[in-house]
């Protein structure tokens, strides 16, 4: 029932998907990420190293931080769609880079080696933390394999979609490092048992189980249909008040990490200023006139 076909999408949306598909690859300053704007206020970020199955190289870890720090403050970006070019989403961390970064760490003694290694791990973690800190919602669209660091990446995103051929695999157990980067625990509360099983066995999780366990919210027949679905979702979000959408992301993440009482308190403080936005009156008027929020021109934020 959660299976969606491209034929159900409009011609306009299919044109947006074609635009997104022909991003032309990375442009400076990026070498591993292709960035484009297929529709107003929607940024498409594509992992783009298909010949290496989008393995996460040293440049990737750095470029993600640069890009998401820029998007966080860019008023022309209200929502991000994230996907992978080529035959799969990602084969995880670049094992060639990891060999020099993690397996042969530099330093003159144990303390200095440990110090440097800790710094490196924190840099890796930052690559995904910037996605959470970016107040713009991130819709991730996964096709084919999503391995290791790919799972860390998608769990930092706000909405996860996948194709029927997608599979997910946490490789920490096989790496014999028992989740040393800590990313597997992100978003895992309440599903601890399943996360433990996946981390300890490194077994593959396929699309249907990903949907039934809540890792993804929708499964599509193929990549084209998924990208159309992702762009449609992004268009819906981009058409809403940026004050409301970005405040919602910030508050959802805050309440994930705090008690109900703390969440309510934070929300009250947030809203005592944000409810004074002109967007509220504009949205209320559109609702009374039975118009879509998409018809309202919200100021840039
Ligand atoms: C806080 C964050 C912490 C993050 C931690 C992350 C940890 C991890 O990500 S652990 C997981 C590491 N990844 C893997 O173990 C996957 C390794 N790859 C594979 O098992 C296979 O490539 C795969 C099953 C994905 C696909 O197999 P297929 O036969 O279809 O393709 P290949 O011929 O193997 O690969 C094509 C070219 O891509 C290169 N490549 C694939 N994966 C990686 C990788 N992870 N790192 C670097 N390069 C990779 C592969 O060498 C081939 O290149 P070439 O020989 O030049 O054609």
Segment 44-57 shows an average pLDDT of: 98
Residue 3, domain member (yes or no): no
- Contact assessment for residue 71 and residue 77, using Cβ atoms and an 8 Å cutoff: yes
**Average pLDDT, rounded, for the chain:** 90
pLDDT bracket for residue 211 (50, 70, 90): very high
Measured CA to CA, the distance from residue 226 to residue 217 in angstroms comes to: 12
Same domain, 147 and 284: no
- pLDDT of res. 187: 56
Same domain, 116 and 152: yes
- pLDDT of res. 172: 64
* pLDDT over threshold 60, residue 184: no
The answer, yes or no, to whether any atom of ligand 1 lies below 6 A from the CB of 171, is: yes
Q: Which atom of ligand 1 is nearest to the CA of 180?
A: 3
The answer, yes or no, to whether any atom of ligand 1 lies below 6 A from the CB of 120, is: no
Same domain, 257 and 132: no
Pocket test for ligand 1, best of 55, 90, 91, 143 (most atoms within 8 A of CB): 91
- pLDDT of res. 16: 66
> Is it true that the peptide bond before 17 is cis, omega within 30 degrees of 0?
no
Which residue has the least CA distance to atom 40 on ligand 1? Answer: 52
Whole-number Å distance, alpha carbon 172 to ligand 1 midpoint, is 14
Per-residue pLDDT tens digits for 226-269? 999 999 999 999 999 999 999 999 999 999 999 999 999 999 99
Same domain, 235 and 247: no
- pLDDT of res. 94: 95
Segment 291-301 shows an average pLDDT of: 92
- Total structural domains within the chain: 2
- Contact assessment for residue 205 and residue 184, using Cβ atoms and an 8 Å cutoff: no
Kindly report the CATH number assigned to the domain that includes residue 247: 1.10.12.10
Same domain, 194 and 272: no
Following DSSP, what letter does each residue of 203-236 receive, concatenated?
--EEHHHHHHTTS-SEEESSHHHHHHHHHHHHHH
Domain final residue, candidates 194, 220, 239: 239
Supply the range of the domain harboring residue 104: 27-239
- pLDDT of res. 1: 39
The answer, yes or no, to whether any atom of ligand 1 lies below 6 A from the CB of 133, is: no
ipTM, 2 decimals? Answer: 0.98
Entry pTM: 0.90
Segment 112-123 shows an average pLDDT of: 92
Segment 41-60 shows an average pLDDT of: 97
Q: Which residue has the higher pLDDT, 243 or 21?
A: 243
The answer, yes or no, to whether any atom of ligand 1 lies below 6 A from the CB of 52, is: yes
């Amino acid at each position: 029932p959660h299976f969606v076909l491209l034929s159900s999408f409009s011609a306009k949306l299919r044109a947006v998907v074609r635009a997104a598909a022909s991003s032309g690859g990375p442009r400076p300053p990026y070498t591993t990420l292709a960035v484009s704007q297929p529709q107003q206020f929607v940024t498409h970020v594509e992992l783009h190293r298909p010949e290496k199955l989008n393995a996460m190289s040293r440049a990737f870890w750095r470029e993600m931080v640069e890009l998401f720090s820029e998007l966080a403050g860019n008023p022309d970006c209200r929502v991000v769609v994230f996907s992978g070019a080529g035959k799969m989403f990602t084969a995880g961390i670049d094992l060639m880079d990891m060999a020099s970064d993690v397996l042969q760490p530099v330093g003159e003694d144990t303390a200095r080696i440990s110090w440097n290694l800790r710094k490196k791990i924190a840099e890796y973690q930052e690559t995904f933390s910037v996605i959470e800190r970016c107040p713009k919602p991130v819709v991730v669209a996964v096709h084919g394999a999503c391995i290791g660091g790919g799972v860390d990446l998608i769990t930092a995103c706000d909405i996860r979609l996948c194709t029927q051929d997608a599979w997910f695999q946490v490789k920490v157990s096989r790496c014999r490092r028992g989740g040393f980067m800590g990313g597997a625990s992100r978003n895992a509360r309440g599903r601890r048992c399943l996360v433990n099983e996946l981390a300890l066995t490194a077994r593959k999780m396929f699309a249907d189980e990903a949907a039934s366990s809540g890792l993804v919210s929708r499964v599509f027949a193929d990549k084209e249909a998924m990208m159309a679905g992702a762009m449609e979702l992004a268009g819906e979000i981009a058409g809403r008040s940026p004050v409301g959408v970005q405040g919602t992301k910030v508050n959802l993440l805050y309440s994930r990490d705090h008690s109900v009482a703390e969440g309510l308190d934070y929300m009250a403080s947030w809203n005592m200023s944000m409810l004074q936005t002109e967007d509220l009156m504009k949205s209320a008027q559109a609702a009374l006139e039975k118009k879509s929020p998409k018809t309202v021109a919200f100021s840039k934020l």
